[in-house]
Amino acid sequence: DDDVSTAPGHIAPRDDVLLLGPAVVQEEEAAPDCGPRRQRTPPPARGGASVSLLRSAPPGRPAESLDHGEISRYSRHLVLGDVGVSGQLAIKNASVLVVGAGGLGSPCLLYLAAAGVGRIGIVDADVVDESNLQRQIVHGTSTVGASKCESARGRILDVNPLVEVATYEEEFTSETALRILGGADGSNGSPSSSWDVVVDGSDNFPTKYLINDACSILGVPWVYSAILAFEGQLSTFNFKGGPDYRDLLPTPPPPGDVPSCAEGGVLGVLPGTMGCLQATEVLKIILRKERGLLVGRVLVFDAMEMKFSEIGLARNPDRTKVSELIDYQGFCAGPKAAPRPPGAVNGSGGRTMDEAETAGGDGGSSDGGPEFRSISPPDCMERLSGGWSPWVLDVRLHSENDIVALPFTDCVSPHRTVVPSDLPRDGEVLVYCKAGVRGRRPATDL
C-alpha cells in the first residue's frame, strides 16, 4: 500500500478508517514542506453493502458502528484525536433537546445535526414570521407562516438525513416539561430523562427558570444563553453538581426591567454566535471533554467591542433543592402590586396586554392591586376615531418613536418610572408601548 503523509502536528488517519472508509479518501492539501498527498482507494464493498468500522449493533441498542456514508460525512471529525471513531459514535448515540427554534436554537440545531447527533428534539409552539428571518437562520422565506418545528425539521434533515428529529409543537410549561423531557421513574426509583443534554433557546425568564428546575429534578445538564442588543451570555448548568440558573439569578428581575429582543432589539448575528457556542458546549459534554466546560463560569460576549469576558459562579450550598415545578409566570411577575391609593388614575391590572386578552377581559384587578385596563390597538383606534381623547403617554424608546410616531401622543418618556408633572389629575390615561410589558411600571406608578 502507498503511505499517506501527514503535516507536522496532524494525527495520521487510522489504517482501519482508510481501508474500510469511503471508496476514495481524499486528504487535505499538504503542508509546504511535504510532498503532495496521495489518494487511497480501498476495495469496494461486495454487493454494494455498507462497510462498517465496527460490528453492527442489535436493534434498540446503542450504535456500535459507522457505515460507509457516515465515515465520509464525518471524516473531519474522525481525524481529530479528541473525537475519532469512538467520539463520533458517542455523538451518534447522543440525544439533545432544544427548547426554542428561534435565534439561539437555529444555529445550534443546524450544527448539532451537521455534527451527527443521533436524536434531536425541538420544542416550539410558534409559527415562522417574516421578522424572524433576520436572525433565525434555520427558517426561510418559503416557510413563513409554517410551524417552526416543521420548518426546522425540514432544514435539519436537508443538512443531515441521518439524524432523528422529534418535534413538540406545544408550549413548554410546568404541565408539559417533565413529559417532554421524558421524566419517568428509573430502576432506582429516581426520575430520569430520555435526553442527554438540554439547550436553552428561550427568550424569557419564566422558561429559563422552568428549564432549570425541570433539568434539576431529572438530573440533566443544560446549556444556557441569553442575548440582548449587542451582548450575550453563556454557561453550562446542572453539570455534575455544578451551579445552576438559580445561582446566577436567585430571583427574577422586576417585570419590565429587562426588555425582550422584540422591545430592545438584537443584532442579527449575535444569536448565531451564541447558538454556535451552545452547540460547542453540547458536543464537549457528549465527548466528555469536561476540563474546558463553562461550569462555574459565565461567558459574556460584547459584540460591539468584540470582547469575551468571564464571570465566576459558585453553587449556593444553602439553596433548597428543587423538588417540584411551580407557576413560573407568577414567580417572575413578582409580588402583587400595592393597593391603589384613593384618587389614583385607572390603569390595567398589572397584566400585559397579551395576558389580559388571554384572560378574556379588560376589567380591573380583583386582588386588591391597581385597577388597570388593557386595550388592543384595533380597539384603541376605534375608540379614538369615535371621539375618545385620553392623555397618552408613550414609553417606547426614542428610536422606536422614530420608526412609528403617534400624532396624538401627549408625552414621550422612555423612563418607565417617571410620572410626568403635567399629568392631568382627572380623566383617562393611555400608556403605550410596543408589546404591553414596559407600560406596566409607569401604569403602576400612576
Query: Could you tell me how many residues make up the chain?
Result: 446
Q: Is 34 annotated as catalytic?
A: no
- Structure confidence at residue 434 (pLDDT): 65
Q: Which amino acid is at 213?
A: D
What is the pLDDT averaged over residues 308-324?
A: 92
Cβ within 8 Å of residue 240, ≥6 positions away: 221, 290, 295
The answer to whether 23 touches 41, Cβ cutoff 8 Å, is yes
Percent of all residues in the chain with a pLDDT value above 70, rounded to a whole number? 67
Contact 213, 192 (CB under 8 A): no
Does residue 158 register a pLDDT over 70? yes
- Tens digits of residue pLDDT in 259-300: 777 777 889 999 999 999 999 999 999 999 999 999 999 999
Distance CA 243, CA 235 (A): 10
Q: Coil, helix or strand for 415?
A: coil
Q: Output the nine-digit C-alpha cell for 184.
A: 419517568
Beta strands in 24-163 (DSSP E): 95-99, 119-123
- The confidence score (pLDDT) of residue 391 equals 82
- Half-sphere exposure in the Cβ direction for 167 (13 Å, CA): 15
Instruction: Decide if pLDDT at 33 tops 80.
Output: no
**Residues pairing with 223 in the sheet:** 199, 236
pLDDT in tens, 180-196: 998 644 444 456 689 99
What average pLDDT does the chain have?
78
Cα distance between residue 163 and residue 307, in whole Å: 35
pLDDT value of position 64:
82
Active-site residue 108, yes or no? no
* β-pair partners for 200: 99
pLDDT computed for residue 302 by the predictor: 96
Stretch (H or E) spanning 211: helix 205-218
Indicate which residue of 108, 215, 332, 433 is catalytic. 433
Place of cell 414596559: 438
What would the DSSP string read from start to end of 354-398?
Answer: HHHHHHT-----SSSS--B----HHHHHHHHHTT---EEEE-S-H
Q: Is the pLDDT of residue 380 over 60?
A: yes
**For 45-99, how does the pLDDT look when each residue is reduced to its tens digit (9 = 90+)?**
434 333 334 433 444 567 888 999 999 999 999 999 999 999 999 999 999 999 9
> Quick check: 417 and 385 in contact, CB under 8 A?
no
Whole-number pLDDT of residue 162? 97
8 Å CB contact between 435 and 352: yes
Hey, what's the cell of 253? 428581575
Q: Which amino acid is at 20?
A: L
Residue 72 confidence (pLDDT) = 96
Segment 224-245 mean pLDDT:
95
| pLDDT of 443 over the 50 cut | yes
126 or 360, which is more confident: 126
Q: Domains of the chain, with CATH numbers?
A: 94-330 (3.40.50.720), 336-445 (3.40.250)
Instruction: For 73, list phi and psi in degrees, rounded to 5.
Output: -65, -40
Question: What three-state secondary structure class fits 181?
Answer: coil
- Extract the C-alpha cell encoding 329: 409566570
Is a pLDDT exceeding 60 seen at residue 341? no
Burial 353-390 (b: 16+ CB within 10 A, else e): bebbbeeeebebbeeebbbbbbbeeeeeeeeeeeeeeb
CA neighbor of 278 nearest in space, from 234, 310, 321: 234
Q: Catalytic pick from 108, 215, 261, 332?
A: 261
